[in-house]
Structure 1
Amino acid sequence: MSDLYADVTRDERPADLLRVATAGSVDDGKSTLIGRLLYDTKQVLADQLAQVEAASVRRHGEGVVDLSLLTDGLRAEREQGITIDVAYRYFTTGDRSFILADTPGHLQYTRNMVTGASTADLAIVLVDARNGVVEQTRRHTFISALLGLRHVTFAVNKMDLVDWDEQRFREIEAETTRMSAQLGIPDIHVIPISALEGTNVVDRGASPDWYRADGEHPTLLEHLQTVEVASDRNLTDLRFPVQWVIRPGGGSGGGDAIAAASHDLHDYRGYAGQVAGGVLRPGDAVQVLPSGARSTIARIETLDGDLDEAAPPLSVTVHLADDVDVSRGDVIAGIGDEATGGTPPQVLRELEADVCWMSDRPLRPGARLLIKHTTTTTAARVEALLDHVDLHTLERHADAPAELGLNEIGRIRLRVKRPLIADPYDRDRQTGAFILIDEGTNDTVAGGMIR
């Protein structure tokens, strides 16, 4: 969870990229919905479509194209419980590019949804119009809120099976709205669809008059193309975790090319990383944490030349005006109100966090693990388990559990060997997130959110 954009190979995450996590109970039609989005936006290659059509004939007979087959093959492998990998689907329209994180719907794969939603801007939670809001709907909405997603869209699917009954839709709309308000989700939309028929997914199709009548009622794709997520990023608190110190001949790979192309090799020193918060500008007064050394930003460099400013999630090389001691894992931060109008990060040796436990071996007090937070990896010890969440009732139980098992969520207290420069997760998702690693197996065993 700390490498929020690790699967995007470009240095810069495009401004028009929307990351979407899809969630829903088994048989709610999630596979068909994803297949419909790909098919109706013409993202399916001819040979893929031919394979799906042939498989559809074998399964259903002539005349039916089962779009769920575009995604179900990989899901069948993933749901063996062998891995926590999440399948990603990519598509683009003229207005925006999308990455869909396809997560399983079973309770035992809670960790899969946490993994997929941890990097998302928006969650689509499917609701079967016949069944309404069920336990899994509440669970997926709760996890979305826990992970700090500000945008949740409830796609009320299979409306064709209830004859597009407006009263039924309004009942579901009222319940999802009430639930989201209780969980503090600021932006929700409820959209009636039929993924099987394609109605209100990409095209309006046979959308009923009661939904068509109001011009503010979009299709699912129209909503995804227009939802505003840029303001969700923390542009107030300046945070720049240092990933690499670039010195000539220092083994920095591409950094030597930057140095050679721009300035005298003997004087070159740059600090490479990804902007995690705020806006970097030459002349800004900054501090290097945890040492507290102060300087100002001299240059912001990329392979394409210098920049006047850099904001999340741009990857850049920063030069400071003074020769101060900076290492990988340090954070270049604003100096409170003096520089950014924001707040300085916390320098933590002990912290409390919500974690989703992802290992078959339960988590117990005293466990020794590695914690990876932004660009820092250090040893950590679990001091205490503070509470746990009942995933059936979504209530927190204040009594300290003896252990956290696979897929369980709870709050813990950690002590770390090297101080972490961090923010509460609800203030900055990048500097507030971390993963826990089993030192012996190198397996990721938990995702965490600093509270």
Structure 2
Amino acid sequence: MLDNNQLLRFTTAGSVDDGKSTLIGRLLYDSKSIFEDQLEAIENTSKKKGHAGVDLALFTDGLRDEREQGITIDVAYRYFTTPKRKFIIADTPGHIQYTRNMITGASTANVATILIDARHGVIEQTKRHAFIASLLRIPHVIVCVNKMDLVEFSEDVFNTIVAQFEEVASKLLVKDVRYIPMSALLGDNVVNKSKNMVWYQSAPMLHTLETMHISSDINKVDARFPVQTVLRPQNDTHRDYRGYAGRIASGVLRTGDEITVMPSGFTSKIKTIDTLNGSLAEAFAPMSVSITLEDDIDVSRGDMIVRSNNKPQASQDIEVMLCWLNNDPANPRTKYSIRHTSNSQKAMIKEVVYKIDIKTLGRVTDDNPLKMNDISKVKIRTTKPLMVDSYRENRTTGSFVLVDDTTNETVAAGMIV
């Protein structure tokens, strides 16, 4: 049974004019997830533009300069709910120069929807979007073969595109791939099953999203509890209380578990697991709790409580896949702040091992500094050890951002190899 309150995050990606915004507009429109005042505003705007009906793309292109240029230039987030599930959509641009936007929108996604124009098939940007989905370890991919109405709803065209994408996916770390032929403009196989493609026997897009199981995407094995703050209530009732509050990043913690506090290495046992509604015998990701220990040991913000028989790697030298997000290039040997879970400390880029050619997806080496949208493998050195897992195994403890202390801008996002 699915939890009706379970949240699913999905991102849309595709080349220019593949119909991403139209698809999301159709999804919202046909699922009746649009408020009346929003619909009225879009209808008025559509009339001013001379459209005969509602321009579905306007449901996501909410900024005036986006509308004037006719393209989506940023990550547009939309929220909607059906009787079966809650959703957050990240509509990301398809342009190469907006690679950073796609990575931003896809970083927390459970599902990546990749649009392909049925007339053009798998093209260079399709491969790039599939590569980024693989790089970010998005566990589920839905390939939406759009504009099937422009190829006469041909099953042969659809099968050819499926074969093309299968060849791409076979070289990447993409496991669960599903294919849906559709026409976002006409509504075929978006919310309602298409009458024009009776040869397609599987579910339309919304039903696929509603019934997709995503609970297995959370790491349930490795117990990781980054400490956000130490609770010391100043009242008579809880005078001796000392709790360590935070959000469980992964795994399960139970009272009586033998734990180690990293990086200090102090050991103890969990005495209680407390919440606003009382104590629990066990807690799991992504619950926010306060943990008390049987021993009075030194624990502070940035430390990580883990099971003694299952520890993450503690290292000052880490290899990562890094996406440079800032307009200014990276400065060699410059110190940045690295934000990893609740831990913040200084770090610098020691070496750029190689860069990814975003057009060919091949590896290149050069002496040029990292610039905006560059994806590269680098070596980073931190001032103190970080408690890390590989991003493949744990998306929470395997990810981080770099911040420029002078401007307080996030300059890069990284995934630990």
Asked if these proteins are the same fold (TM beyond 0.5), I'd say: yes
SS in 2 for 1:60: coil
The aligned runs of 1:241-390 (5 Å cut-off) are 241-249=226-234, 264-336=237-309, 343-390=310-357
1:15 offset after TM fit, Å?
6.2
1:117 aligns with 2:106: yes
1:143 aligns with 2:113: no
Matching residue of 1:48: 38
Pairing partner for 2:14 from 16, 20, 24: 24
Runs (4 or more) in structure 1 with deviation over 3 Å come to 75-80
1:402 offset after TM fit, Å?
2.8
**Residues of 2 paired with 1:114 and 1:124: CA distance?**
13
RMSD: 2.0
Matching residue of 1:67: 56
Q: 1:253-291 CA distances to partner (integer Å, 9 max, x unpaired)?
A: xxxxxxx6xx83221111111111110111111100001
**Residues of 2 paired with 1:165 and 1:78: CA distance?**
32
1:47 offset after TM fit, Å?
1.1
Contact 1:156 1:169 survives alignment (8 Å): yes
* Identical aligned residues as a percent: 50
Pairing partner for 1:222 from 199, 203, 207: 207
**Residues of 2 paired with 1:15 and 1:351: CA distance?**
37
1:304 offset after TM fit, Å?
1.3
Matching residue of 2:399: 433
For 2:293, the aligned partner's letter is L
1:442 aligns with 2:411: no
Structure 2 stretches lacking a partner, 5+ long: none
**Residues of 1 paired with 2:48 and 2:171: CA distance?**
46
Q: 1:417-440 CA distances to partner (integer Å, 9 max, x unpaired)?
A: 121111111110000000000110
Pairing partner for 2:380 from 414, 420, 437: 414
Matching residue of 2:218: 233
1:364 offset after TM fit, Å?
4.2
For 2:102, the aligned partner's letter is M
Matching residue of 1:10: none
For 1:344, the aligned partner's letter is K
**Count of residues paired in the alignment:** 413
SS in 1 for 2:239: helix
Contact 1:159 1:192 survives alignment (8 Å): yes
**Residues of 2 paired with 1:43 and 1:440: CA distance?**
43
For 1:313, the aligned partner's letter is P
**Residues of 1 paired with 2:315 and 2:4: CA distance?**
32
The aligned runs of 1:388-399 (5 Å cut-off) are 388-397=355-364, 399=365
Structure 1 stretches lacking a partner, 5+ long: 1-12, 250-259, 337-342
1:197 aligns with 2:186: yes
Matching residue of 2:389: 423
Compute the TM-score of the two structures, normalised by the length of structure 2: 0.95
Rate the CA distance shift 1:173–1:429 in 2: closer, same or farther, 3 A.
Answer: same
1:133 aligns with 2:118: no
1:402 aligns with 2:368: yes
Contact 2:5 2:86 survives alignment (8 Å): no
Rate the CA distance shift 1:48–1:237 in 2: closer, same or farther, 3 A.
Answer: same
SS in 2 for 1:72: coil
Rate the CA distance shift 1:149–1:75 in 2: closer, same or farther, 3 A.
Answer: farther
Rate the CA distance shift 1:443–1:22 in 2: closer, same or farther, 3 A.
Answer: same
For 1:44, the aligned partner's letter is I
